[in-house]
Amino acid sequence: MRRALCLITCLVAGIVSTPAQQATAPPASGSARPLLAEARGVAKWLRGVALPRGSALAWAGTPAPGAAPVANLYSGSPGVVLFFLELHHATGDAADLATARAGADWLLTNVDSESQAGLYTGLAGLGFTLTETWKATKDVRYKEAANRVVDRLKQMARPAGDGVEWSPVSDIISGTAGIGLYLLSASRDLGRADARDLAAAAGRRLITQQIAADGGAKWAMTPASPTRLYPNFSHGTAGVAYFLAQLHAATGNRAFLDAALSGAGYLVKSAKTDGDVCLVFHHEPEADGLDLFYLGWCHGPAGTGRLFHQLAVATGDRTWHTWLVRAANGIRQSGIPERESPGFWNNVGQCCGSASVADFFLSYHQITRDAGALAFARRVTDQILARATRDDAGTRWTHAENRVQPANLTAQTGWMQGAAGIGGWLLRLDGFDRGRAPLVTFPDTPFK
């Protein structure tokens, strides 16, 4: 729960702009430093900070003497396992797969004791990681554990109205929408029709939690906070609507699509759209009247654009593709990566920073064939590489996770804020350049 609380803290209003963190090695372009070699440097550092647990391995979110290992997808061991699976997919090196398996073996010991259900904060993330490990290794132990995760999620689900929930939280990070996305992936990968049915029950619960709004409907992160809303992907309407759109694709139930369209209608009605952009404000009500727009996966176009793309696919209505284009325009016109802003501060991770933006623009290029989008992804990647710390310990990134805590600089291990996720992006771009499709696709992406 420390991570969940930290996430909420980072949403506090207030403009803080910090200079870019200086790299300890000279800036280098992607062409000067091959991407796969960079990923191997990440692997060296991650191996060096691993915590032995018998024959298994685990990772703390932020390595430090006495730091405990973390079992959530946001900041700890699961993201490291996924990175090593992807690295083995790129290299074929048995040592990379062995490291992934050792990490997954520690995750096996957490399945029956994990008390949180969330995608990025609990059981759902464990289930996803173990499923991906089974798919890569064919070791039935991981599949059996992933099935236990689904069984536990069924047991933990609480009836609520016409559906179910696991907590009052509705969002992607730790709430109903994210858990539902995992259940949809489990229904496909594990052949669990009951997982899809449980996801549908979660969707019915979310429909009843809509709040009427100008242009459509919106969702609060929890019923206890109806006057302070975070409308973008990680904690708000965009993420909930995205799950409902995916649920429509899985079930054919029009009610889920209608609710998703209502959420998208509210977003575009309230967004900043001058200059042919779509920038949805960070939170409601706006902070002291200031324009505060984030750019990454969590609270910016790199996340909310996923909803627009999913709706374009679901409806065949090109209007939603236009909103995807405008979301991309909002990032490109911001001045990043050369100029930081309150929505793009000292962070290069998959949640808030450069890796999420670069990843989004590669997907955008693959959808649109926009050569400028690919060039932009490479430019952001050059900034990521220039920010790296490289030494005998390996490669990692030190940055600020929270905009309102700019002096709290750490080098993390995990997927959303750490080296595993940044290394995962480098492997994806390397795979694109070499014609190698990614091994792992997260439950919250429509970009297949």
pLDDT value at residue 292:
86
- CB proximity list for 234: less than 8 A, separation 6 or greater: 7, 171, 172, 173, 297, 298, 299, 303, 351
Residue 29 has pLDDT above 60, yes or no: no
For residues 431 and 90, the answer to whether their CB atoms sit within 8 Å is: yes
Residue 52 bridge partners (DSSP) = 57
pLDDT value at residue 309:
98
Give one DSSP letter per residue of 243-288, joined into a string: HHHHHHHHH--HHHHHHHHHHHHHHHHHSB-TTT--B--SSBS-GG
Taking residues 43-70, report their average pLDDT. 98
Q: How far is CA 284 from CA 259, 290, 423, 437, in A?
A: 20, 11, 34, 39
pLDDT value at residue 21:
31
pLDDT band at 344 (very low <50, low <70, confident <90, very high): confident
Taking residues 411-417, report their average pLDDT. 98
pLDDT band at 28 (very low <50, low <70, confident <90, very high): very low
pLDDT value at residue 30:
44
Is 197 buried (19+), middle (13-18) or exposed (0-12) by CB count in 10 A?
Answer: middle
Is 369 buried (19+), middle (13-18) or exposed (0-12) by CB count in 10 A?
Answer: exposed
Could you give the CA distance from residue 156 to residue 76 in angstroms, rounded to a whole number? 23
Could you report the per-residue pLDDT of 192-213, keeping only the tens digit for each? 999 999 999 999 999 999 999 9
pLDDT value at residue 225:
77
Helices (H), 93-232: 94-108, 123-137, 140-156, 176-189, 193-208
- Between residues 14 and 278, the one the model is more confident about: 278
Residue 392 has pLDDT above 60, yes or no: yes
Could you report the per-residue pLDDT of 60-72, keeping only the tens digit for each? 999 999 999 999 9
Residue 444 has pLDDT above 70, yes or no: yes
pLDDT value at residue 47:
98
Residue 255 has pLDDT above 80, yes or no: yes
pLDDT value at residue 402:
83
Could you give the CA distance from residue 380 to residue 386 in angstroms, rounded to a whole number? 10
How many Cβ atoms are within 10 Å of 377's Cβ, its own excluded?
Answer: 23
Could you give the CA distance from residue 382 to residue 386 in angstroms, rounded to a whole number? 6
- Report percent pLDDT > 90 for the chain: 85
Of 427, 438, 442, 444, which is closest to residue 35 (Cα–Cα)? Answer: 427
pLDDT band at 291 (very low <50, low <70, confident <90, very high): confident
Q: How far is CA 289 from CA 14, 225, 269, 286, 302, in A?
A: 11, 20, 18, 6, 24
**Quick check: pTM over 0.85?**
yes
pLDDT value at residue 312:
98
pLDDT value at residue 12:
29
Could you give the CA distance from residue 200 to residue 57 in angstroms, rounded to a whole number? 36
CA dihedral 134, 139, 145, 148 (to 10 degrees): 90
Residue 19 has pLDDT above 50, yes or no: no
- Between residues 392 and 161, the one the model is more confident about: 392
For residues 351 and 412, the answer to whether their CB atoms sit within 8 Å is: no
pLDDT value at residue 32:
52
How many Cβ atoms are within 10 Å of 99's Cβ, its own excluded?
Answer: 23
pLDDT value at residue 33:
67
Residue 14 has pLDDT above 60, yes or no: no
Residue 443 has pLDDT above 90, yes or no: yes
Taking residues 388-409, report their average pLDDT. 92
pLDDT value at residue 5:
34
Could you give the CA distance from residue 108 to residue 92 in angstroms, rounded to a whole number? 24
- Report percent pLDDT > 70 for the chain: 91
